[in-house]
Amino acid sequence: MVLAVEKLDRLERLANLVLLLLDARRPMTLAQIAGAVEGYPASQEGLRRSFERDKAVLRQEGIPVSTVALEGSEQYGYIIAEEEYYLPPLDLAPDEQLALNMAASAVAMGGSAGRDALLKLGLMSHPGLPAATGETPLGWLTLLDQAARARSKATFEYRGRARTVDPYGLVASGGHWYLVARDGGAGDVRRFRVDRMECAPQVGPPGAFEVPDDFDLAGAGPSVPWRMGEGELRTAVVAVDAVMAPEVLAELGREAEPYIREDGWSVVELEVSNPDAFRSWMIGMLDHAEVVGPPELRDGMVSWLEAVAETGS
């Protein structure tokens, strides 16, 4: 248990260090870093050793922590230059972007290299891009993509019955591939999780339908990962500290109607139908956010964290 907590503490410290040095407008001294990032030893020697280890780990992971000579008693400062950390925009066409997404998914069998590359290229809206070689066969994605381009109807089994749809396109979001299509039976545009199709899709002849001129594929995809599940819809109450509040409020947009607690934390409500995706979103904010309610979501988060700690102990 103690070892797991120490690992989580160091992970949090490394994450905060990266955010701090990326956001810095000028090189930061070691004293400034220690004052802004929790978890470093109080002694100067211990601080220096811990920071050097952290800096080495980040550089090994490809994060360019630069050392800059400074005037004065603090001889060196540290910064992560955005132009060295992020790649420039590639200005890919939509079909090129989809092809790159699918290619990276196809090779992500044993690790996260493809996902990491897409994140750095800025081509993923969520870090959970699914591997096409796992639950979603690459061939199914290829067939559906070809059907959408050729305007061919697609037929497949979904939730125990046959569906014949007009496929408008594929979107990857929150760890899953979705087919956005007009359902011939229901008569409206729906999203179908490709890994939940019960058989390989069958594609008809080309030119069988037209996509409306005002249709927006990006806007038709699932908007946020915690609302992409098909379970019971619940209202989660989340408190966020001043560090993460601006980012969270910007992400939620008009949905957010926060109020400020006495301790300065912002409290927001959001609808959740996918507890796993909601938990992943919360974990990404470390100790900058907490689940206030309802009890089943809060208890589920606590139980999961305790299980992780037990596994790592």
**Mean pLDDT in order along the chain per 10 residues (313 residues):** 52 81 84 85 87 88 86 81 72 64 49 44 42 55 87 90 90 70 78 84 94 76 54 81 80 69 87 77 83 89 81 57
CATH 2.60.40 fits 2-81, yes or no: no
Start and end residues for every CATH 3.30.70 domain found in the chain: 234-312
Angle, helices 113-121 vs 94-106, to 10°: value is 160
pLDDT of residue 12: 77
Q: Please give the Cα distance from 159 to 135 (Å, whole number).
A: 16
Q: Please give the Cα distance from 255 to 306 (Å, whole number).
A: 31
CA R_g for the chain: 23
pLDDT of residue 7: 57
* Beta bridge partner(s), residue 240: 266, 289
**Greatest CA separation for the chain:** 75
Q: Please give the Cα distance from 218 to 222 (Å, whole number).
A: 9
pLDDT of residue 164: 93
pLDDT of residue 113: 43
pTM of the complete model? 0.38
The SS3 of residue 199 is coil
Start and end residues for every CATH 1.10.10 domain found in the chain: 2-81
Options 3.30.70, 2.60.40, 3.40.50, 3.30.310; CATH for 234-312 is: 3.30.70
pLDDT of residue 5: 44
